[in-house]
């Protein structure tokens, strides 16, 4: 990527339905996403495969034109992913999802948060949440999501974490959004996007005294490098 990095990492065995991907869809746009398909991974292979195919093929079709309304394209992608998940599951199947398109020229991210844990954006030491803009995918055939945008200043970072990270437990206490935000604030942004993901997962694992047995622990980060 130009003046930016994107990476994802996971901890432990892949048991749940976490799915992440990123793909260049034009000369100046990169599409990325993190989905959390309900149920065990072995039961979700068809759903995951169909969702990835739509994410890549339709994503490229929608975002490749030079002149494109990125907010509208993101909403259309969300609608089709929702339908694909329901068709592959042959019915209702919850799938919280966060997907975004990063415009390298403008430093903008157009995103949808379909019932996923909030995305986090860090500018300096200030961290802000990107809450849900719609319901989880796979529940209602005609559900839609709004697609707002966030400006990524040079040196800023966007972090996505799966439910397994937020729900990491020690006794009855969860790592939670507070723990996630604290770990994000402490992480060195100058590190690579991959190092940022690993740092977040390490914090969650160090907190947890009960190993995750059902949920995957996945982190995805987009880091815009500082101007030199």
Alpha-carbon gap, residue 220 to 227, rounded angstroms = 22
Q: Cβ atoms within 10 A of the Cβ of 227, count?
A: 8
Domain that holds residue 95: 4-224
Residue 211: per-residue pLDDT: 64
- Residues of the chain with pLDDT > 90, as a percent, come to 74
Q: Which residues of the chain have pLDDT under 70?
A: 13-16, 189-191, 210-215, 227-228
Alpha-carbon gap, residue 95 to 145, rounded angstroms = 13
Residue 158: per-residue pLDDT: 97
DSSP labels, the chain: --SEEEEEEEES---SEEEEEEEEEETTEEEEEEEEESS-GGG-HHHHHHHHHHHHHHHHHHH-SSS--HHHHHHHHHHHHHHHHHHHHTS---B-EEEEEEETTTTEEEEEEEBPSPEEEEETTEEEEE--SBPPBTS-TT------EEE--TT-EEEEE-HHHHT-EETTEE-HHHHHHHHHHHS-TTS-HHHHHHHHHHHHHHH-SB--SSS-EEEEEEEEPPP-
Alpha-carbon gap, residue 218 to 126, rounded angstroms = 23
Residue 125: per-residue pLDDT: 84
Residue 190: per-residue pLDDT: 62
Residue 71: per-residue pLDDT: 95
Alpha-carbon gap, residue 43 to 16, rounded angstroms = 9
CATH value at residue 121: 3.60.40.10
- Reported as a single tens digit per residue, the pLDDT across 134-150 is 999 999 988 889 999 99
Alpha-carbon gap, residue 110 to 16, rounded angstroms = 27
Residue 135: per-residue pLDDT: 96
Reading the block at residue 162, the tokens are 């799966």
Residue 200: per-residue pLDDT: 94
Residue 17: per-residue pLDDT: 76
Residue 178: per-residue pLDDT: 94
What's the pTM? 0.93
Residue 215: per-residue pLDDT: 67
Number of domains within the chain: 1
């Amino acid at each position: 990527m130009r003046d930016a990095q994107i990476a994802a990492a996971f901890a432990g065995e892949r048991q749940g339905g976490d799915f992440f991907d990123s793909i260049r869809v034009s000369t100046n746009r990169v599409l990325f996403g993190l989905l959390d398909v309900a149920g065990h991974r072995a039961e979700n292979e068809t759903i995951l495969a169909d969702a990835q195919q739509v994410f890549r093929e339709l994503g490229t079709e929608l975002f490749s034109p030079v002149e494109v309304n990125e907010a509208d394209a993101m909403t259309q992608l969300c609608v089709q992913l929702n339908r694909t998940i329901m068709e592959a599951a042959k019915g209702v199947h919850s799938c919280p999802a966060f997907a975004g398109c990063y415009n390298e020229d403008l430093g903008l991210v157009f995103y949808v948060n379909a019932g996923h844990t909030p995305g986090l954006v860090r500018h300096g030491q200030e961290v802000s949440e990107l809450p849900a803009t719609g319901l989880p995918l796979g529940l209602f055939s005609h559900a839609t999501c709004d697609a707002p945008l966030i400006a990524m200043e040079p040196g800023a970072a966007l972090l996505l974490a799966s439910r397994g990270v937020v729900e990491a437990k020690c006794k009855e206490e969860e790592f939670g959004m507070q723990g996630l935000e604290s770990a994000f604030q402490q992480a060195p942004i100058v590190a690579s996007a991959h190092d940022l993901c690993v740092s977040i997962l390490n914090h969650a694992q160090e907190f947890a005294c009960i190993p995750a047995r059902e949920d995957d622990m996945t982190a995805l980060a987009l880091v815009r490098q500082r101007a030199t």
